[in-house]
Amino acid sequence: MATFRLQGSRVLAVDMTGDSVKAKNGSMVAYDGRMAFKKMTGGGEGIRGMVTRRLTGEEMTVMEVKGQGTCWFADRASEISVVNLRGDKLFVESSNLLCTDAGLRTGTSFTGVRGTSQGNGLFTTTVEGHGQAAIMSEGPAVALRVGRDHPLTVDPGAYIAHQGNVRQSFQSGVTFRTFMGEGGGEAFQIRFEGDGLVYVQPSERNTIAGDV
């Protein structure tokens, strides 16, 4: 199995000994050793979470990297966090997923946070199995614990991913910015309940449906 390690906070190094990983197309910045690269698009088992979103116009392509040596990945100087999966499932916004072990199963879930807040219902990528995945954020990501008696409410613009036995629901009405009188329009929050982790970033992405 490939080994993920961070070099600094914005570069992911992946050590491989005949293993393979799937990474965001164009994210490799350097490699040593002997590597083979294959661009993957469209359908295909194991990459369903990153296929072309025909209904929304959102296109994600990935590349498979296999060989012996080390590859370094980065994307637009984003901060990178490594998530360890032990048979559980990670839900992550597709634009925030950088790299996964090839052995992890990827798919889609029709519960995209940005899509729901915009009324479009975009897909969220799921990653499941045993291995490592690297996610990206604007600024250092923070993993917040959701406990059985401690639900968590998150602004959709700050949400990146979540894992564990966590249920999410969407609440309309007001966000943190509209509550402080800094905006208007239809707004949403995401409420998480159960037992797991929610990853948030300190920079809110732009959204469409009001101040969300």
Average pLDDT of 7-19? 96
DSSP notation for 8-37: SSS-EEEEEEEEEEEEETT-EEEEEEEEEE
Q: Give the tens place of pLDDT for each residue, 24-43.
A: 999 999 999 999 999 876 43
| Mean pLDDT estimate for the chain | 80
pLDDT at position 145? 96
pLDDT at position 52? 40
Q: Give the tens place of pLDDT for each residue, 107-136.
A: 887 654 444 444 334 568 899 999 999 999
Whether residue 77 has pLDDT greater than 90? yes
**End-to-end CA gap in the chain:** 39
Whether residue 56 has pLDDT greater than 60? no
Q: Please, which residues have CB within 8 angstroms of residue 181's CB and are 6 or more apart in sequence?
A: none
Q: Please, which residues have CB within 8 angstroms of residue 94's CB and are 6 or more apart in sequence?
A: 49, 50, 58, 60, 123, 124, 125
pTM of the model: 0.80
Q: Give the tens place of pLDDT for each residue, 160-182.
A: 999 999 998 887 755 555 555 55
Q: Please, which residues have CB within 8 angstroms of residue 62's CB and are 6 or more apart in sequence?
A: 22, 23, 24, 25, 39, 40, 47, 50
| Confidence band for 186, pLDDT divided at 50, 70 and 90 | very low
| Confidence band for 67, pLDDT divided at 50, 70 and 90 | very high
